[in-house]
Amino acid sequence: MGDGLLGGRCVVVTGAGRELGRAYALACAAHGAAVVVNEARLRRITEVNVLGVQFAAVHAMRAMVRRGAGGSIVTIVSGARSGIPGMSAYGATKGAVAAMTAGWARDCASAGIRVNAVSPLAETGMAALDTRPDRPALGAPGDVAPVVVALLSDATRGVTGRIVRFDGAELGVYAPETLTPVPRRAAGDPAASIAEALTRLGDPAAA
């Protein structure tokens, strides 16, 4: 067994050639993991961010089930899944990863496999595309990487199905999505009453 939180573990990192992926790989290796680099070079963003994650995660889960000792999987999502101007395609793929993470956490619980997601706040080429005036402060990729190490380690045993936000200093967890009832008039045209009720909610993008 190696030293560190991830001693004796094998960690597969997709996109490890640059920025956050490279930082994750270096951080895991520094904590004793044997890091396998899986550079996804598929042509379209959906193939990389959705199918690439599917293939890598399912392969890892099958190996963990065969081994019978459980394990931990960490996916990477983005605040773009909630809507950032000019990043709708990228955000859609990260929304898919968030959905897969939630499903896998439930599917794999009986096998002792934990599945969590990190939504990092780091200065990367993709983050540079976010030109919002209220864009949050961003840390360096290496400052964000410790959250991946923590989630992969046994120190977070019992933590699963979470989306964790980290900027190198402040740590947060997204609350599960909830459904809020919207009162509407029962009489009259149903479509008109629905439109009226939804209009009262206002524009979430302006909130």
More confident: 193 or 43: 193
Return the pLDDT at 114.
97
State the Cα–Cα distance between residues 202 and 207, nearest whole angstrom: 8
Q: Are strands 34-38 and 71-76 parallel, antiparallel or unpaired?
A: unpaired
How many angstroms separate the most distant Cα atoms in the chain? 70
Helix, strand, coil percentages (3-state) for the chain, rounded to 5, are 45, 15, 40
Q: Which CATH class is domain 10-173?
A: alpha beta
pLDDT digit string, tens, across residues 20-72: 888 888 899 899 988 877 665 445 678 888 888 999 999 999 999 999 999 99
> Has this prediction a pTM greater than 0.75?
no
Cβ atoms of 28 and 148 within 8 Å: the answer is: yes
Are 121 and 140 in contact by the 8 Å Cβ rule? The answer is: no
In this predicted structure, what is the pLDDT of residue 124?
65
Report whether pLDDT(73) > 90. yes
Please give the mean pLDDT across all residues of the chain: 83
Percentage above 70 pLDDT, the chain = 84
Annotated domain spans of the chain: 10-173
